[in-house]
Amino acid sequence: MKYVYIIVSLVLAAAPAMAQTPVYLDETRPVGERIEDALGRMTLEEKIAVIHARSKFSSPGVARLGIPEIWTTDGPHGIRPEVLWDEWDQAGWTNDSCVAFPALTCLAATWDEEMAALYGKSLGEEARYRKKDMVLGPGVNIYRTPLNGRNFEYMGEDPYLSARMVVPYIRGVQSNGVATCVKHFALNNHETNRHNTNVIVDDRTLYEIYLPAFKAAVQEGGTWAIMGSYNLYKDRHCCHNAHTLNDILRGEWGFDGVVVSDWGGTHDTDQAIHDGLDMEFGSWTDGLKGGYRNAYDSYYLAYPYLERIRSGEVGTEELDEKVRRVLRLMYRTVMDRNRPLGSMCSEAHYAAARRIGGEGIVLLKNDGGVLPVDMDHARKILVVGENAVKMMTVGGGSSSLKVQREISPLEGIRERAGEGVSVVYERGYVGDVTGEYNGVTTGQDLSESRSADQLIADAVEQARDADYVIFVGGLNKSAHQDCEDSDRVSLGLPYGQDKVIEALAAVNDRLVVVNISGNAVSMPWVSDVPAIVQAWYIGSEAGHAIADVLSGDVNPSGKLPFTFPARLEDVPAHIFGEYTGVPSRDTVDIEYKDGIYVGYRWTDLQKKTRPLFAFGHGLSYTTFEYGEPVLDKTLMSRDGSVTVSVVVTNTGTREGQEVVQMYVGDRKSSLPRPLKELKGFEKIRLAPGESRTVSFTVGTDDLSFFDPDRHEWVAEPGKFDIYIAAASDDVRGKVTFELE
Ligand code: BGC
């Protein structure tokens, strides 16, 4: 009887306790209710705390309520190593080495949404395992000038291509319960004066060129965070810019995530309160040591905001809205108890990095079939160039990584070469022998005592009797060579590489130039070199991916995501004189006078100047033949669509992949329009002799331009051309239809 009494009492005691699970912790309740419940429990001070950082990369949760802190990390190519709480120096962990995935230019060059999904999923798993809740990336700023030091972190010059590639990346990362923070919103298209450049751009250009990838990231990718950029637009910094953040991002696109400031991108408490910012990061870097109270409390959205509320200067309405959004982020990430656990440095991640790298490498030129290199039977292969041995994952700014391993091109080639093949290495030139970023060092000794002339002479000597000469050079993520916070100073290759290449070309006609960069470079020797490969910053598996393509184990299938101009003077951002590259302390107005004519949109207008290599260009070891494109109808109703189909055949002897590109051009319109714009692409794999029909459906959206007066997208009736192309300068067929 006594036991029965105890059991009954226990049950009665437990019942109300179970019923009392607070709403904010109750996973059966809708998130909106949980957010309101949590908000209602938070003190003013707790609310202020969650909207700004309290270390270099984290913001506090609500400890009293058991809501965890949020940890962010760079991004976008791998998970950044741990730094100290308040400093950029390394924390000295020994378990924070990652897999470096190929840079985003390489991902864009795959033109393959499946690769973007694989990338996002793998990176998200690494982030999750390292207990990071937000990846600071991907970047989708448009490639406007080849001098931009951060182009390697972005996805090229075309809004459609960037939009298509960013969506699966976001979904992949976020499927791990880790947020993406798409950056840098908006108009951050070069680095010099990045904090004080005020961009002047017309609405049409803004909507047609610079915003579509961000819009897709929000509306199709469903990104949970966006990072405001450092620069100004309409005289306001983009981290608190009512026009871009309140009107466009939230008003027009319905973004329900958080706006995160770039590190140190916040400048004003009142603007931060009212003009769209939710979470402030990185404003002062002396952390707990400096300033009044401590520095994190001195953030614009910390004590100064609290004071304004306490004094009655501002209400709490804006604060509650910010906290609601931060709580929503928390429910999507740290409060999601079911999110996967992630994994790190797994063989699957290395395989993904190698595959994406192999698919992104672009074969620019291959005269006389020099490539693929016969790595099984060649007698002697000479490899020349610093980039054949230099680690490329350290450097470049915030995207710098500490990798578990990185295979250099030379190692990749050596590993792949057959037993009897002698692989000889010569330096050729000296670039940057340092290898350090924020305390991560490559540990490589690249010191060299020979003179520049001697290095060339030694390489030439070895080149004379080599079956193949593979020159691996390019840029290297040092300051001004593809690096955050500095732009390049010229289009040319640095460190006298042109001279080395010319000397090698003079003595050996089986010369392959492998250019490693995230940017276009000029190639004055282009007609003297039979084979040229664009190889990007590929990360941990660089050497394997490069050897895969050079040897023919992987048939190249990448296509350029941006134009390689022949000269800097051919780039509209430079022609119209609105890129100065001159550092300034004052605000610098930069007017985008090139308007919508960025990249191939400009090339198509030109009669005489041709680029070195066009947007969309990329060769294969096999050949593809395109049939005549066929339309299902020639008259399209206003809310209808047309479908164009084309048969593509592999006419060579190897299996290969081709990116079939579809561009649309408006014959006549009330506003000037580019000759053609990319509106579809598909990557297909074909066995020798195999044919496949590729179809694209074109709807009114694909025909529209942004009418700045009406502030809407407009498709005008009339004739439109559809171009089926293997590159923007290699149109294989054209059909025409009319929009009613
Ligand atoms: C960069 C961001 C980066 C942040 C944090 C800033 O300097 O512009 O892209 O995510 O630092 O490292």
Model pLDDT for residues 63-89, shown as the tens digit of each residue: 999 999 999 999 999 999 999 998 899
Atom of ligand 1 nearest to the CA of 183: 9
CA distances from 164 to 108, 214, 596 (A): 9, 11, 19
**What are the residue numbers of the active site?**
262
Ligand 1 centre and the CA of 286: distance in Å? 17
Say how far residue 203 (Cα) sits from the centre of its chain: 24
* Across 194-220, average pLDDT: 98
Task: Check: CB of residue 558 under 8 Å from CB of residue 362.
Answer: yes
**pLDDT over 90, % of the chain:** 94
The pLDDT score that the predictor gives to residue 577 is 81
Ligand 1 centre and the CA of 631: distance in Å? 47
User: Residue with the nearest Cα to atom 11 of ligand 1?
Assistant: 263
* Across 159-176, average pLDDT: 98
* Across 240-261, average pLDDT: 98
Q: What secondary structure letter does DSSP report for 140?
A: -
Does residue 9 register a pLDDT over 60?
A: no
List the one residue out of 645, 651, 662, 646 whose CA is nearest residue 624.
Answer: 651
Sign of dihedral through CA atoms 156, 162, 168, 172? positive
Give the tens place of pLDDT for each residue, 355-401: 999 999 999 999 999 999 999 999 999 999 999 999 999 999 999 99
Ligand 1 centre and the CA of 234: distance in Å? 22
Sign of dihedral through CA atoms 681, 682, 683, 687? negative
pTM, rounded to two decimals: 0.96
Separation of alpha carbons 538 and 542, rounded Å: 5
Give the tens place of pLDDT for each residue, 621-664: 999 999 999 999 999 999 999 999 999 999 999 999 999 999 99
User: Is residue 240 classed exposed, middle or buried when 0-12, 13-18 and 19+ CB atoms within 10 A define those classes?
Assistant: buried
Q: Tell me which of 289 and 693 has the higher pLDDT.
A: 693
User: Residue with the nearest Cα to atom 3 of ligand 1?
Assistant: 398
Ligand 1 centre and the CA of 194: distance in Å? 12
User: Residue with the nearest Cα to atom 8 of ligand 1?
Assistant: 262
User: Residue with the nearest Cα to atom 7 of ligand 1?
Assistant: 263
Atom of ligand 1 nearest to the CA of 74: 10
The pLDDT score that the predictor gives to residue 674 is 98
Ligand 1 centre and the CA of 262: distance in Å? 6
CA distances from 301 to 266, 284, 579 (A): 9, 12, 34
List the one residue out of 125, 135, 553 whose CA is nearest residue 350.
Answer: 125
User: Residue with the nearest Cα to atom 6 of ligand 1?
Assistant: 263
Residue of 59, 135, 136, 238 with the most ligand 1 atoms within 8 Å of its CB, for mutation: 136
**Average model confidence (pLDDT) across the chain:** 96
The pLDDT score that the predictor gives to residue 1 is 45
Ligand 1 centre and the CA of 651: distance in Å? 47
CA distances from 556 to 1, 37, 365, 424 (A): 81, 55, 11, 25
List the structure tokens of 135: 């990846």
Atom of ligand 1 nearest to the CA of 181: 10
Residue of 151, 239, 266, 398 with the most ligand 1 atoms within 8 Å of its CB, for mutation: 398
User: Residue with the nearest Cα to atom 2 of ligand 1?
Assistant: 262
Residues with CB under 6 A from ligand 1: 74-75, 136, 183, 262-263, 398
Cite the beta strand spans of 486-640 per DSSP E.
511-516, 531-534, 588-591, 624-626, 630-631, 635-636
Residue of 72, 190, 285, 484 with the most ligand 1 atoms within 8 Å of its CB, for mutation: 484
